[in-house]
Amino acid sequence: MKVLILGSGGREHALAWAVKRSQRVTEVVCAPGNGGIAQVARCVLVDIKDVGAMVRLAEVEQPSLTIVGPELPLSLGVVDAFQELGYRVFGPTRDAARLESSKAFAKQFMKRHQIPTANYAVCTDAAEVEEAIKHFHPPVVVKADGLAAGKGVIICPTRQFAIDAAQGIFSGELLGLAEKQVVIEEFLEGEEVSFLCLSDGEHVVPLVPAQDHKRIGEGDTGPNTGGMGVYSTSEMLEPTMTEWIMHHIAEPTVRGMAEEGTPFAGVLYCGLMMTARGPQVLEYNARFGDPETQAILVRLESDVVDALEACVDGRLGETVLRWSHGAAACVVASSSGYPGSYKTGLPISGLSLAAQTPGVEIFHSGTSRLGNQLVTSGGRVLGITASGDTIREALARAYEALTQIHFEGMYYRHDIGHKALKQQRP
């Protein structure tokens, strides 16, 4: 079968790599792809903001299955458009993707279905913000309603800071686009866990958990990024905790969406804060996480295409996923300046040597090919991903591979997975 993957980041590279390993797959096409994806898939140009262009691509390629990577095409209704024409496509419809594309919708949905989340208020103007903010103790979190590529969440140390942040979101000054709604939210403390599940609209199957490192700086300092690294181990969540999360969060979410007439099929990504009063949902995403997917898929032993097809066909109830028992980690190498502005077009060297490190897969986030030379083309450039019997081994392999890789201004965090290492007995 021919599989089409929409997107161009490390997540899509990991998906293309995993799909290619399926016995049933004869061809992988990725649109638009990147310099690394081109090693495992045929890359074709497409504008992922243009649903019509993606449909025309499907009409040319006639894929047996399409996998949508990023949130933007989901929020624009690419799945609805593909389904209308009879194409088999993995991902939620536009209405179901509102769990990610509108934070106000997600919060109100969680309230309707008693799913644990931080207290909040949805505000549509400055006066409402001033009134609502009186009911929160600083620090308080202000969030733009819509998609903001990780830039829409502001942790505010004072009420005045929050009022100003909300104003900046309404005016468009902060995100470049004026927003009609903001969410004011209680600040939660604890460890974050990315809890991803597959769903066919009715059944839910969890993937292995992962922990992202969102801040640019070591020790979780500095501004938020798309994710600087992630690890995943079998020990991250006790089996009873996984059951609790399934029972109180993942299953009620899928049931609630079905009851409301917008069944959710695809990846349900629950961003959780493990607080003193139990897991609380920080956010939903309607897609695979990046870089979570890189570390999760190297641990998957089952055929990924079988699992994703079961979601499309409503057969997930029969699906059992097999996972490696060890650990995996992904360390992101980024451009100097990211998440602010950065240079692109810088030559990358040492990848083939680095890729020979045992247990290592290198997934490209922002690279392109200039003739024979691989160059940087994004803020996050590479995701050095490694598996091992233990988290210690996986991290050692990823960092060893990184010592071989060079591009001007290459930056990465040296402390990915350190919290997991501390929790391990020596």
Which residues of this protein are in contact with ligand GLY, per CB under 6 A?
Answer: 212, 227, 285, 289-290, 292
Q: Among residues 105, 161, 187, 411, which is the contact residue for ligand AMP, using CB under 6 A?
A: 187
What backbone phi and psi angles, to 5 degrees, belong to 229? 165, 160
Question: Least distance to ligand GLY from the beta carbon of 24, Å?
Answer: 28
Q: Which amino acid is at 130?
A: E
Among 12, 100, 145, 185, binds ligand AMP (CB under 6 A): 185
Q: How far is the CB of 115 from ligand AMP (least distance, A)?
A: 14
Residue that has been written with the tokens 């030379």 in this structure? 373
Give the footprint of ligand AMP on residues 201-260 (CB under 6 A).
214, 224
Q: Is 157 exposed, middle or buried (0-12, 13-18, 19+ CB in 10 A)?
A: exposed
Indicate the helix (H) or strand (E) that contains 313.
helix 304-313
* b (16+ CB within 10 A) / e for 79-103: bbbbeeeebebbbbbbbbbbbbbbb
Nearest to residue 377, comparing CAs of 407, 345, 412, 340?
345
- Closer residue to ligand GLY in complex, CB, 25/74: 74
Tell me how far, at minimum, the Cβ of 153 lies from ligand AMP, in Å.
4
Q: Which option in ligand GLY, ligand AMP, none does residue 227 bind, with CB closer than 5 to 8 A by kind?
A: ligand GLY
**One of 118, 123, 300, 312 touching ligand AMP (CB under 6 A):** 118
Instruction: CB nearer to ligand AMP: give 151 or 406.
Output: 151
DSSP state of 38: G
Decide whether 292 or 303 has the Cβ nearer to ligand GLY: 292
Residue 289 interacts with which of ligand GLY, ligand AMP, none, CB < 5 to 8 Å by class: ligand GLY
Q: Based on CB atoms, which residue is closest to ligand AMP, 214 or 392?
A: 214
Nearer to ligand AMP, 46 or 216 (CB): 216
Output 58 or 141, the one with its CB closest to ligand AMP.
141
Q: Which is nearer to ligand AMP, 214 or 418 (CB)?
A: 214
Which one of ligand AMP, ligand GLY, none is in contact with 290 (Cβ closer than 5 to 8 A by kind)? ligand GLY
Alpha helical stretches, state H, 202-272: 239-245, 251-259
The reply to whether 283 sits near ligand AMP by the rule CB under 6 A is yes
Spell out the residues 6+ positions from residue 236 whose beta carbon is closer than 8 angstroms to its own: 193, 208, 209, 210, 211, 420
Q: Which residues bind ligand AMP (CB under 6 A)?
A: 118, 141, 143, 153, 185-188, 192, 214, 224, 271, 282-283
